[in-house]
């Protein structure tokens, strides 16, 4: 089988260490050199120097969790990197064990048998991190809103039946008043803003409940979490806007 990369390396990446195999082909003779380094920055820099000393041109590693990312960042400027799908490596027949993984990856790479996964450039990776984090925070807000609803139901306050968004302007005004100790349905109804589908009589009936100190504590807890999360979401959205700046310029040109 044709050898595409006579000097290459395979990496078996773990959380705390990287085992490297440098595969050096000279004519029909192939030699293997192995080295294990810690995944600290110093260890990865030593790995880069070791690979350079062996004149490796291409380096392959498995896309395992997030452990490959620091390795990639250190090596990407000096070597042609291949990020291989772990499932694809397992599907290629051969001997695979903890001791032989790095050697096996190097052999697959040398013969061009690894398909490289797409690794976006750093600005795109950062933008992905931001958008994914925003999505997670939005989900967290939704979970806390659900817990607010459950607490209100437990207090027999039917706020969700008369206000579509209990963390909107009217909903928050009522929640803050409830937390402060207000229980009079008439006064709570006066706190609503704008037009609501429910009539004033329906609002009064919905806000006539049995709220305890425990309910107030839980309402305050979840509402505080929602406020904190929404502040974080706003901060991330501003950061996303900044990150999109270079792409807007490219589109405009």
Domain ranges across the chain: 7-110, 122-246
The secondary structure of the chain as a DSSP string is ---S-SEEEEEEE-SSEEEEEEEEEETTEEEEEEEEEESSHHHHHHHHHHHHHTT--EEEEE--TTTHHHHHHHHTTTSEEEEE-HHHHHHS-S---TTTHHHHHHHHHHTT--PBPP---HHHHHHHHHHHHHHHHHHHHHHHHHHHHHHHHHTT--HHHH-S-TTSHHHHHHHHHHHHT---HHHHHHT--S--SS-HHHHHHHT-----HHHHHHHHHHHHHHHHHHHHHHHHHHHHHHHTHHHHHHHH-
Cβ atoms within 10 Å of 105's Cβ, excluding its own: 30
Distance CA 219, CA 103 (A): 58
- For residue 86, the model assigns a pLDDT of 73
Would you say 10 and 106 are in contact if contact means Cβ atoms under 8 Å apart?
A: yes
Q: Of 67, 69, 47, 57, whose CA–CA distance to 119 is shortest?
A: 69
- For residue 89, the model assigns a pLDDT of 66
Distance CA 39, CA 160 (A): 51
- For residue 26, the model assigns a pLDDT of 87
Query: Going by C-beta distance under 8 Å and a sequence separation of 6 or more, which residues neighbour residue 89?
Result: 62, 96, 104, 105, 108, 114
- For residue 247, the model assigns a pLDDT of 80
Would you say 107 and 83 are in contact if contact means Cβ atoms under 8 Å apart?
A: no
Domain 7-110 -> CATH class: alpha beta
Distance CA 175, CA 193 (A): 13
CA angle, 145 then 208 then 201, to 5°: 100
- For residue 65, the model assigns a pLDDT of 81
The low-confidence residues of the chain, meaning pLDDT below 70, are 1, 87-99, 250-253
Sign of CA dihedral 169, 174, 180, 186: positive
- For residue 178, the model assigns a pLDDT of 96
- For residue 194, the model assigns a pLDDT of 77
């Amino acid at each position: 089988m044709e050898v595409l990369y006579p000097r290459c390396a395979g990496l078996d990446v773990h959380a705390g260490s990287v085992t490297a195999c440098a595969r050096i082909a000279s004519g029909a003779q192939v030699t293997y050199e192995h080295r294990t380094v810690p995944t600290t920055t110093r260890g990865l820099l030593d790995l880069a120097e070791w690979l350079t000393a062996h004149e490796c041109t291409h380096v392959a590693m498995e896309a395992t969790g997030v452990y490959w990312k620091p390795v990639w960042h250190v090596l990407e400027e000096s070597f042609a990197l291949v990020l291989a799908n772990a499932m694809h490596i397992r599907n290629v027949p051969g001997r695979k064990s903890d001791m032989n993984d790095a050697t096996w990856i190097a052999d697959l790479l040398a013969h061009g048998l690894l398909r490289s996964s797409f690794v976006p450039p750093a600005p795109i990776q950062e933008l992905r991190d931001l958008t994914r984090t925003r999505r997670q925070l939005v989900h967290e807000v939704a979970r806390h809103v659900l817990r607010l609803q459950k607490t209100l139901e437990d207090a027999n306050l039917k706020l969700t039946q008369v206000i579509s968004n209990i963390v909107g302007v009217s909903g928050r005004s009522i929640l803050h008043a409830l937390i402060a100790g207000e229980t009079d349905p008439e006064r709570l109804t006066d706190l609503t803003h704008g037009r609501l589908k429910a009539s004033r009589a329906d609002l009064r009936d919905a806000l006539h409940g049995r709220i305890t100190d425990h309910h107030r504590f839980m309402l305050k807890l979840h509402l505080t979490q929602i406020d904190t999360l929404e502040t974080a979401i706003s901060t991330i959205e501003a950061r996303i806007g900044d990150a999109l700046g270079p792409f807007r310029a490219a589109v405009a040109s």
